[in-house]
A and B are shown apart, each in its own frame.
Chain A
Amino acid sequence: MKYLKQFFIILLISLIGEILKATISLPIPASIYGMVILFVCLLTGVIKLEQVKDAGKFLIEIMPVMFIPAGVGLMVSWGDLKPILMQVSVITVVTVFTVMISTGLISQWIIRRNKEAK
């Protein structure tokens, strides 16, 4: 019963997320509404960590498997990707560099400045 209850809570929040997505016309996926709701519920103590932890951790652990069908979809979208393969590759690699460097250096600067202030 423990897992069933936990899974039920997570599904209920997913459902609320879907209802919000259907009623609010913003380009926000249902899962994001759900994630924010669960986070706020945990922070405020409406839901205790133990009430969702096991089922949630299991879902997160097997999550990579859930992306396989979408990845396999490349079979049909290969025709759309092929003409821009070069551009997509450049963007993919360059962005890894720019994002890591900007986040890393800026947060490091803030941390070191705080340390000096202390």
Chain B
Amino acid sequence: MEQFFSESAYSAVAVSLVSYGLGNWLKRRFKLGLFNPLLISIVCTILFLVVAGIDYETYKSGSSLLTWLLTPATVSLAIPLYEEYELLKANAKAVIIGIICGVITSLGTVLLLSKLMGLTHQQYVTLLPKSITTAIGMGVSEELGGYVTITVAVIVITGVIGNIIGEWICKVFRIHEPIAKGLAFGTATHAIGTAKAMEIGEIEGAMSSLSIAVAGIFTVALASVFANFM
């Protein structure tokens, strides 16, 4: 099995796609934020590899095509940002200040809690990009010398939590303006939270999706500064 798996050009990608499809089906079937397709596909793929006795390196070389597409896909994030440019310009002050405050709060919270709980530098930089989209967060973690795989897991779980309780947080803390809600979702919980923001409303969704790229860029700039603080 292991040998076939490592020689086959498509098996690793197929396993990833099938498990993602399963996650998508579960999400539609049960309509629960917890059934995030990415989260489910990661768990299912791990289970499959463990049961079939295939090690990660074999799977990784087989699935390198998927990883290869990540840079062009991230570059493409400029497209939705450009499409929302008019909306960004019309609310420039709220967007820029709101997102910068969120990015600093994210980095600051991670710094403070990492210090309090005695994490190492490597563990700390692993968590620094946790609020931004996986595509950019992975790169930041790698550049700063973090554990990239842990960063990915934390980013996905952050998104899932935001997807589930984001609306409730907005309600409790009286964030009612659609623009402010969208910015909060996108800055704190990237693309997975944006899916929820799109369900709430059009303005919320558009604001949330433009926050993904903007918060990503500010985090790239500020994370390397924060990396020196601990």
Contact = CB atoms under 8 A, between A and B. Distances in A.
A binds B: yes
A53 interface: yes
B184 interface: yes
Given A27-B143, A74-B42, A77-B147, 10 more contacts: A13-B75, A34-B75, A36-B217, A52-B76, A70-B134, A71-B38, A72-B49, A95-B158, A98-B109, A103-B180
Contacts of B72: 7, 10-11, 14, 34, 59
Given A73-B60, A111-B177, A66 B67 contact: yes
Given A72-B42, A94-B109, A107 B180 contact: yes
Contact of A74 (B77, B136, B150): B150
B62 to A, nearest CB: 9
Contacts of B74: 29, 31-32, 34-35, 63
Interface of A: 7, 10-11, 13-14, 17-18, 26-32, 34-39, 42-43, 49, 52-53, 55-57, 59-60, 62-77, 80-81, 84, 87-88, 90-108, 110-112, 114
User: Which of B64, B139, B170 has the most chain A CB atoms inside 10 A of its CB?
Assistant: B139
Interface of B: 12, 16-17, 19-20, 37-38, 41-42, 45-46, 49-50, 56, 59-60, 63-64, 66-67, 69-83, 85, 91, 93-95, 97-99, 101-102, 105-106, 109-110, 113-114, 117, 119, 123, 127, 130-131, 134-136, 138-140, 142-144, 147-150, 152-154, 156-158, 161-162, 165-166, 169-170, 173, 175-177, 179-181, 183-185, 187-189, 191, 211, 213, 216-217, 220, 223-224, 227
Nearest to B138: A70
A103 B207 CA distance: 12
B45 A100 contact: no
A112 B94 CA distance: 10
A104 B170 contact: yes
A75 B56 contact: yes
A29 B66 contact: no
